[in-house]
Structure 1
Amino acid sequence: MDVEKLSGGQCAIGRSIARVGDAWSMLVLRDAGLGQTRFDGFQKSLGIAPNILTRRLSALVKAGLFERRRYSERPPRDEYVLTAAGRDYVSILLMLGGWARTHFGDEGTSRPIDRATGRTIHPVVVDAETGMPLTDMDIGLEMPTR
C-alpha cells in the first residue's frame, strides 16, 4: 500500500487510513481515550512489544493525533496526550465498536458508558446540519476538480 499517495490523495478516507490505519494504533488511541497517557500503561494494557509501541506512538505524534509531553526529567519520561484530532478519532473508534456489537454480537464485549451516570452510550453518526443518521441517507462522493 502506498501510504504516501494515500496521505495526500483526494480521498479523505484514504488520508485517515494513512495516519491511523493499523490495529495497534487504533488500540493505543482507544486506551488514550479511556485516560491512558504513559508508555508503560499502554504496554501493560495491550501486551504490545516495546519496539512496536515506540513506532506507533511516534507515528501518531507525527500524524498529529498525540502531543508528547515531558512529565519527568530524571529519568526523562514523556506522556502522550490526545490532540483535538486524536479526541475526534476516539469517537470513530466508539462507532466501530457499536458497529461490531450490532453486526457480530455483543455478548461478552465491552460497552462505552457515560462515567457520570453509568448509562450505556449508543453511538450513531449523523449529519451535523440536518441531524439525520448517515445510514438513512443516499450518500455519494463529490470529487474535487483539478
Structure 2
Amino acid sequence: MRWQELDQQPCSLARTLSVVGDRWTLMVLRDCFLGIRRFDEFEKRLGITRHVLTDRLKKLVEEGVLKKVPYQQRPLREEYRLTEKGLDLHPVILALVNWGDRHMADERGAPIEHVHKACGKVMQPVTVCSECGEPVTARDIQVQVGVGWKPEDEAEQVLP
C-alpha cells in the first residue's frame, strides 16, 4: 500500500489517514481546537516552516475540514475555521490526547485538563455504544463486512 494511494483503500481508517495522518496536520488540528485561527499564530506556536504549514492548511481546506473566513478586507486577510467535518474530528483528538496523558505524560501528569462546561468537572473521553450506551473497549467489539464493502475489495485484506 503506497502512502499516496491511501484515499483509494477500502478502509475508512486509511482514507482518514490520507487527510489527517501527518504529525503536522494533527498539530494544526490541535491548535484549531485550542482556538488558533490565523496563519502567523500557527507558525509561531508550532515552529513549522511556512511551506509545510501552507501545504497542511491547503489540504485541510481542500478536504473540507477547515474553511477560510475573511477577517480583514484591505488587504484581504483570512483565518482558518473548523467546519462541521472538522469539528467531527474532536473525539479523535481527545482520544489521542487522553492516550498521551495516560502513556506519555511525565511525573507531573497531564499538561492540559478538559473540563465539561455543563457540570464543571474535569473529564476523560469514553467510547460508548451508540445503541445501548454501554462503554466499549477493543475487546468488546467484533468486526464484520459492512454495506460499503465491494467484492473486489477482497484482495485488499482489510479484514482478518
TM-score range, shorter chain: 0.7 to 0.9
Q: Aligned equivalents of 2:49 and 2:144: distance in 1?
A: 39
Q: Is 1:138 equivalent to 2:141 in the alignment?
A: yes
Q: Aligned equivalents of 1:141 and 1:43: distance in 2?
A: 43
Report deviation, 1:7.
Answer: 0.9
Q: Which residue of 2 aligns with 1:119?
A: 121
Q: Which residue of 1 aligns with 2:81?
A: 81
Q: Is 1:15 equivalent to 2:15 in the alignment?
A: yes
Report deviation, 1:123.
Answer: 0.6
Q: Aligned equivalents of 1:80 and 1:58: distance in 2?
A: 10
Structure 2 matches for 1:44-123, cutoff 5 A?
44-105=44-105, 107=109, 109-114=111-116, 119-123=121-125
Normalising by structure 1, we get a TM-score of 0.87
**Equivalent position amino acid for 1:56 in 2:** R
What are the ranges of 5 or more consecutive residues in structure 1 without an aligned counterpart? none
Helix, strand or coil: the match of 1:134? Answer: coil
Aligned residues: 146
Normalising by structure 2, we get a TM-score of 0.80
Over the aligned positions, Cα root-mean-square deviation in angstroms equals 2.1
What are the ranges of 5 or more consecutive residues in structure 2 without an aligned counterpart? 152-160
Report deviation, 1:108.
Answer: 5.1
Q: Which residue of 2 aligns with 1:42?
A: 42
Report deviation, 1:118.
Answer: 5.0
Higher Rg of the two aligned structures:
2
